[in-house]
Chain A
Amino acid sequence: MSRDRSEPLLSELSRPGRVGHLLAAPDACADATLDLPSELLRDDLKLPELGELDVVRHFTHLSSLNFSIDNAFYPLGSCTMKYNPKVNEDVARMAGFAGLHPYQPEETVQGALQVMLELQQLLCAISGFETVTLQPAAGAQAELCGMLLIRAYHRARGDTKRTKVLIPDSAHGTNPATAAMCGYTTVSIPTDAHGNVDLKRIKEEADDTTVGLMLTNPNTLGLFEQEILDVTKAIHDAGGLVYGDGANLNAILGAVKPADLGFDVLHINTHKTFSTPHGGGGPGCGPVVARGFLEPYLPKPVVARRASGDRAGELFLDWDRPESIGKLKSFWGHFGVMVRALTYITLQGDQGIRDIGEAAVLNANYLRKKLDDLYDVPFDRICMHEFVASGRRQKQQGVRTLDIAKRLIDFNIHPPTVYFPLIVEEAIMVEPTEAESKDTLDRFVQVMRQIAEEVETSPELIHDAPHDQPVGRLDETTAARRPVLRWS
């Protein structure tokens, strides 16, 4: 058994009477409750009582129990775990950005509104669309935004019998969940033998009840949809619109503008492609770019410039948007993430943007080629920024993909995404990103080859993995059956 590296809970570290932070002398606000009726006050406030150093050590120790980009290779497919330039953090923390209240008068936040406007223009330039909202909080909320825009469009035309949304069987689970949230039914479209969405089935399903298609391109197999122009045309011919899930935009940066492929709406995971650190799972930021005819429906308010009056030329937030779908989140979106994205794009410029896509795709294909003799690659063609392998050969020898993932941890490599997409048996989805060096990729290859060998020679080593982590494999069944969701 490895050395115990567990950290007590805050509640266990608490000592009655210990004080961490005081804002004023202890009696400074003793009279504060006097004019509040006692029936409106709480009886007791049970929170842990810790000193400041207790707090610092606790969280510093917890931080050491995490894998992160800054300390390990993190080839988590579909998540684009690339390096996030440190200067982004410095800029986002400038008082002129971090210290703004969302309801400050507009004349005191002209720089912030300009950040939003410039980012909007750059996202349109990169994606090829005419209009954009920065409001959605994350990719999934952006999907909701995009589908609400599409509904507003159909509704404005009086086209109300459209109720079904076509979604490939390889799609992210958020796509069908989003369509359902809009009250639509979903139709699953299979994947063909080449890893593309089945064009024939799309043509069969697309009719005057079709809201549209939700499509990820490159798709979740890491492949570019080879018949994309025919796919989007088929939907348009039926009167539907095409929603693009931009989760995989990183691969095609500079190589193609999604608008040119026939998408009508697309969301951009700013935190992936434009390098906001993923923060342990959030925050994200999900701008939605769209064709000009969807502009009236964008969430409100939008950043605009005053055309006339004594404040002409000033930027302001325009709430006068009668056809808007309304609001999806408080205020204007995740401004802190927008600042990072603008900083990153400014650093990259036109040439850097193109280089990101190219290097991401080069890295992924290199790994695919170096591993395809030992791990099955079901759709073995040039991939984009990621590829999906299958552990079915290893499974026949008694080692599952999950075991392989856990064994990688022993080599200080974060496991790839596993068991997604659902259509590939024992899926292992690898996305190295452009930020990794050839040395890192070669080491990953060497480790994956060693594991493939261990599958044959010492499978127990893999079954027991990981070996030297703070905890071993955890009992997830009991966690779900008898949930313990808070300290007692």
Chain B
Amino acid sequence: MSDNNQNAQAYWKENVKLLLTLLLVWFAVSYGCGILFVDALDTIKIGGFPLGFWFAQQGSIYTFVVLIFVYTARMNTLDRKYDFHEE
């Protein structure tokens, strides 16, 4: 029982660490690039897009999609590593 318990705690710890890392990216891309530093980034242009404007209207959404799929893949690995995966 206590073995299983330790296992669950280690699993949870890794889970929270992964989550915080991904949320940091989430925050940096949307609130950072899209809002807080948008004017500075707008001085850089890629094609017709001022970069800050692109992050605010397009880039952040692409990043969100990628973040969730990365999370899904990493969690599936974690489930197997700690033997918590569903049959």
Partners in one complex: no
Q: A-contacting residues of B (Cβ < 8 Å)?
A: none
